[in-house]
Structure 1
């Protein structure tokens, strides 16, 4: 009997200890779940039960319970009733996690949209697609590539789209998704941010050697000041931990912070610029804050991405979400249809030209696809690279837009190809290499 009591006591202590050490994580779990649910329901217009069974079927997140309110367009999540978090949706701004500062959030200022009349087919409009059969494409081989991308349920592919010579030659979606379904790009959003800086540079409103912290006392002892170039290349030397499986810099920023632009800015300097390469979502949101500083009003900042990029090239489905302080969360939160994500890739494939209009300079493509020092050839300026042959069977000129859970836009200039893959599971380099190899083999 004493032994049983001892074992029960040890078990109780273990439970209490586990609860004590994991309780702070509940804030992140319920925060992730409520934000994901609100955005998926009110932006992507998906059913809550589908989101719970699929999107939230992942470690820890599956412990959460969610409720939707159409009265205030919100989602509330908790873990066994503990640590409830609420996310509220506002059309034009997306969903935002609330906290004690929520009452100060200004939902009155929303971005203006600049949608053009759709009279043209994809890609320069949304009036259908061309049905021309390209003589150099083996559509039977392409179909096999598509079948292989979807046949393994564990890969959890949601959509696959292939564009060659500005024309869709293959497109497929799982059940419940279509050409009209908005999909979260996660870190693909980072490349949207980089492009906004490319537009500023083309307009001669920004130089990549601009030093945003030149007047900050704590930065004055640096031998070389941090520039926009250093930030775009993730080599600022500012401390940052990008770990999504624990309480870290990135999870605190995304699920606890009211102003996500200051998380990286306030970190310690641990190296001189260019000495280390360290991937950081905080850096991207810092750049979003610096971008905001370039405009006289908040309205101008909110309008800029849509007026000069998103709506200009007809990515009309895209929604950029903001934080509680009204900053675009350009590290993570852009939603768009698969076709509109493909348009973004085509803009780069066409070196900044869109239906006769230049969006950014031709040299900007060379800039973002140039390997960053100490990145082992895998990273440029907010774009990922194949410069070191990470995908051995694919041309080295491939560069890509990458996001969590295997969201990808592959741009392959030498093959005149853009490939978009979205899903719920990260793929290995070998899996992506195989997919792209099969697609390329279908083009003669």
Structure 2
């Protein structure tokens, strides 16, 4: 996406939100193009920051407000599933024997673990390739063709990323039908998610996923759709083919841990002998509270949420309808200042750069507009705040304009209260 459209800081929250299967990367999908910054950790976010200068017209935030959610009537509420929040103690995953697989072996193994049915188009990567292994097949159990894929990787056990993968999304940010998070008997974390390919439901393509993280750092994810392709294919059946029980059995099959163990060492890991200074991110709770404190009189907070660092949102109401407001507070972003603040921006006497934008919320519902104030201090600290004329980013407009004017958004973003949240 052209940098002239400016960056949406919330886009780089989505990359790993629902799945991290490399084959699902779609160059036409802004959410997939966004960097996987926060979920990958501060170091990786800094590396990808320059690539995250993306469209400012659309805004989606990473899922990741914790805990398990079990909804009435959801078949994922099975007796053996327990919330991660219970802190259930379990034995560690046993050591596995590495099992190298070629592309053909990956497809064959994947198909053998699926139910009876017909197989169509397929694709895969083996263990000896530069990118992690994956497999994808078109599967038909007699009820319609469906795309099913799986991807393998390594992850640091007990890391923030592992925790975030196992957490159910914040429904304000990512609409879905059901989600459960549990700890299996061997200590693995399992999340079963049933949602949609497009959060705004502009088409009825469903996306169901299973994510598994073992105590030894194996990461397995399975995704299935009720269409023969994840995008741009007609819905071919009411639901994806695999049930909750089948998803769990497939993602937790022991063979995938052996395949992960056969992957070559990760050459992208940073050299521990090289010291890299990483600016500290603002505490997410403090970001949300600061935003609430800076709201004008007459604007009431009716809901709130966010992430551990840098991002928060509020749903506010001034008596004329709900309005979604989100803010991102980022440390030193001077390396992309030229891309963020073009000819239409201004520079204040203290060196702060300011850009304001008013336009449609391209990824939101019908009639939604997005107003943004984007600021960067002389030290590179960036505060960018956006307001919508809807209660969330995926619903239709509930009012003509946002509850906050562009002048009020600008004043909030320029408040000196933000400076105390970022150090280093």
Please tell me the TM-score bracket, short chain as reference.
Answer: under 0.3
Which has more helix, going by share of residues?
A: 1
Q: TM-score, normalised by structure 1?
A: 0.19
Which has more strand, going by share of residues?
A: 2
Higher relative contact order (CA 8 A, sep 6+): 1
Q: TM-score, normalised by structure 2?
A: 0.20
